[in-house]
Amino acid sequence: MSGSMVSIEKIKQKDIAALSRAITLNESTIIEDNLLVDELLRDATRSENKSIIISISGIPGVGKSSFIEVFGTYLHRLGFSIAVFSIDPSSELSHGSILGDKSRMTELSRLKNVFIRPSPNSNKLGGIGINTYKNIEIAKLAGFDIILIETVGVGQSETLVKQLSDIFILLQMPSSGDELQGIKKGIMEMADFFIIHKADGDLKIAAEKSKKEIESALHLTRDEDMTGRIFTFSSIDKIGLELIWTSVLTYFESQKEKGEVALTRKNQEKYWAEESFFQLLQKHYAHKFKGELKVLLDKIDNGVFVGASDMLSIFSKSNGPNG
Amino acid sequence: MSGSMVSIEKIKQKDIAALSRAITLNESTIIEDNLLVDELLRDATRSENKSIIISISGIPGVGKSSFIEVFGTYLHRLGFSIAVFSIDPSSELSHGSILGDKSRMTELSRLKNVFIRPSPNSNKLGGIGINTYKNIEIAKLAGFDIILIETVGVGQSETLVKQLSDIFILLQMPSSGDELQGIKKGIMEMADFFIIHKADGDLKIAAEKSKKEIESALHLTRDEDMTGRIFTFSSIDKIGLELIWTSVLTYFESQKEKGEVALTRKNQEKYWAEESFFQLLQKHYAHKFKGELKVLLDKIDNGVFVGASDMLSIFSKSNGPNG
């Protein structure tokens, strides 16, 4: 992609083409493209921004998209502009499930002032990386009121999800057993809100039971009071959406007042800067040591064992006698 | 940990203490410890090894541990020695679920010639890294007949799981809906075997239905014939275990005959060598540029935007005028 600049004015008007272009530049593998996005963000991140960033996480099949469709449409009706980022490394927004995917956010995607962006390609960090953070920065620059991030969360990526959002909502399946199946300690300690989803029909009773289980588990594992932050919900019945939103907003406002939101965002900026630093470092030196790496891999092809000591000698040699 | 050598003889006797010590050295953050493990593996990886490495993947709650308990106990009865690695970044073997975890592999863990190792601590690669690969190499050196790897698989880490094992078994929940909930394209294309688990009681019919759905989905998405590689199973009823094992073994043997197993393992060795190369590179230069990184992070603390260009200038400066 050639590097003509994206109009910051158009982005601030939430122009879909300009937003998409900025995101494409950000996700480009060409460093010059990425630098253009940095240029774009240079002033933006410094300015006051009004966005609330909410991540919606949960295991596959829990109904994250259905929830976001219902929740987003509700928020839109309240007058908010909304950006949705779907971060699922192995599916795209339109090609998620094997058997077709007609029901994913169809209503939401038709609304004005709503921008929906599917996930970037899979990478080792579970689809979440510096690009994701910068995509959200672009949406903040555009001035979306609410930014929703859909992530698969099964205890692998919760730390990264925390580094992206102000609020972390975990969707949970109603459990019919005696155990909190599939809910891991890590994620249990990190989520700000718990929603037992699919609380309709035959699963209604199980959902209520799960709610009680989660309440008592949280009581044991969390220091802070989680009262009023655990809900059952059905994206079919849609009852109780107002209560959920009010609770989220109240919590966000109180965190903001305490200075927690600003602190979290500053730490996130530092986290991703460090991440970016190491990524660039790796890119730079991977290029520099391309030949040496090939020699090592050829050795393996020839049945020779290659260990860390073989590698370490390469790096220290390049640094001269003083390391 | 100080660096006294682990006895290769004791490891080959499957001595638990020696195995545990080798794994601890491997997972140590001290490079000298890691080098000792390399020394241990230097000859080992070159020798013929008889282990079959099978990964068992699936979403949380699908019953991976119960399946491994039943499957492992069955294989043990057939006379095989077994190593189990549980790679779940947010839980440990004994502290996995919130509400206690008494039922995890109790029978299996009491048997002779069975070595069970819980997951290392969480890291960004979803718990799977060069350490995991080398742990498996240690188990291969010890001569375990079958090495089982338990991994959370939801489309984030399937590529990594593929880089660890000969055979990839995906456990799937019986689905009551019309859709293959929670089964993503990526994992669908990578698994060698599909087992619809919990096919008992009320879920028996749903499991059979899911089997048919998966069969037709695979027919659409996979080039190779998947007949005889999709099963329903109950770890309570335990019916059909022999058939599953025979199919896995037959498939493995045919892959081995075609030279696929050797090729896969060689490629895995190269993959992890490259991974290790970049990890060491990062460690080496992170140390070298520690001061520069701190300056950048301090800038952020002071409200200054830090972008890729600020970072790039650091690396190119260090390389002198000739890059």
Nearest to residue A193, comparing CAs of A128, A246, A262, A156? A246
Question: Which of B95, B154, B296 shows the shortest C-beta gap to A273?
Answer: B296
Q: How far is B254 from chain A (nearest CA, A)?
A: 23
Stretch among A92-101, A134-143, A180-189 having the lowest mean pLDDT: A92-101
Nearest to residue B230, comparing CAs of B242, B216, B214, B217? B214
Rounded CA gap, B196 and B237, in Å?
A: 14
Rounded CA gap, B133 and A66, in Å?
A: 38
Give A317 or B70, the one with higher predicted confidence: B70
| Number of neighbours of residue A5 by Cβ within 10 angstroms | 11
Stretch among A50-59, B64-73, B250-259, B309-318 having the lowest mean pLDDT: B309-318
pLDDT higher than 80, residue B47: no
Task: Give A185-242 pLDDT, tens digit per residue.
Answer: 667 778 999 999 999 988 899 899 889 988 988 887 788 889 999 999 999 999 999 9
Rounded CA gap, A103 and A94, in Å?
A: 10
Identity of the highest mean pLDDT range in A52-66, A91-105, A117-131: A52-66
**Which pLDDT score is estimated for A186?**
67
**Which pLDDT score is estimated for B188?**
76
Rounded CA gap, A146 and A139, in Å?
A: 9
What are the structure tokens assigned to A296, written together?
């090592």
pLDDT higher than 60, residue B292: yes
**Which pLDDT score is estimated for A221?**
77
**Which pLDDT score is estimated for A199?**
94
Q: Do A60 and B34 touch (CB under 8 A)?
A: no
**Which pLDDT score is estimated for B179?**
53
Of the residues B65, B95, B98, B268, the best mutation for testing chain A's interface (the one with the most A CB atoms within 10 Å of its CB) is B98
Q: Indicate the pLDDT class of residue B180, thresholds 50, 70 and 90.
A: low
Question: Which of A155, A307, A316 shows the shortest C-beta gap to B38?
Answer: A307
**Chain B residues touching residue A317 (CB < 8 angstroms):** none
Nearest to residue B58, comparing CAs of B171, B145, B160? B171
Q: With beta carbons less than 8 A apart as the criterion, state whether B127 and B87 touch.
A: yes
Long-range residue pairs from A299-304, CB within 8 A, at least 24 positions apart, any chain: A300/B266, A300/B269, A300/B270, A300/B273, A301/B266, A301/B270, A303/B46
- Which one-letter amino acid corresponds to residue B59? I
Q: With beta carbons less than 8 A apart as the criterion, state whether A226 and A217 touch.
A: no
Give B216 or A167, the one with higher predicted confidence: A167
Q: With beta carbons less than 8 A apart as the criterion, state whether B106 and B144 touch.
A: no
Q: Torsions phi, psi of B291, nearest 5?
A: -60, -45
What are the structure tokens assigned to A160, written together?
């990264």
- B291 by DSSP, 3-state: which? helix
| Three-class HEC string of chain B | CCCCCCCHHHHHCCCHHHHHHHHHHHHCCCHHHHHHHHHHHHHHCCCCCCCEEEEEEECCCCCHHHHHHHHHHHHHHCCCCEEEEEECCCCCCCCCECCCCCCCCHHHHCCCCEEEECCCCCCCCCCCCHHHHHHHHHHHHHCCCEEEEEEECCCCCHHHHHCCCCEEEEEECCCCCCCCCCCEHHHHHHCCEEEECCCCHHHHHHHHHHHHHHHHHHHHHCCCCCCCCEEECCCCCCCCHHHHHHHHHHHHHHHHHCCHHHHHHHHHHHHHHHHHHHHHHHHHHHHHCHHHHHHHHHHHHCCCCCCHHHHHHHHHHHCCCCC
Q: Indicate the pLDDT class of residue B101, thresholds 50, 70 and 90.
A: very low
- Which one-letter amino acid corresponds to residue B65? S
**Which pLDDT score is estimated for B323?**
39
Nearest CA in chain B to A305: B42
- Which one-letter amino acid corresponds to residue A4? S
Rounded CA gap, B18 and A184, in Å?
A: 31
Rounded CA gap, A206 and A212, in Å?
A: 10
Of the residues A124, A161, A264, A276, the best mutation for testing chain B's interface (the one with the most B CB atoms within 10 Å of its CB) is A124
Task: Give A9-33 pLDDT, tens digit per residue.
Answer: 999 999 999 999 999 999 888 888 9
**Chain A residues touching residue B312 (CB < 8 angstroms):** 31, 280, 284
Q: Do A188 and B98 touch (CB under 8 A)?
A: yes
- Give, in degrees to the nearest 5, the angle at Cα A65 between A62 and A68: 110
DSSP secondary structure string for all residues of A229-267: -EEE--TTT-TTHHHHHHHHHHHHHHHHHTTHHHHHHHH
CATH of B44-258, one of 3.40.50.450, 3.30.450.20, 3.40.50.300, 3.40.640.10: 3.40.50.300
Average pLDDT (B234-261) is: 96
Q: Do A90 and B303 touch (CB under 8 A)?
A: no
Q: What is the pTM of this model?
A: 0.75
Q: With beta carbons less than 8 A apart as the criterion, state whether B314 and B289 touch.
A: yes
**Ranges of each domain in chain B:** 44-258, 272-317
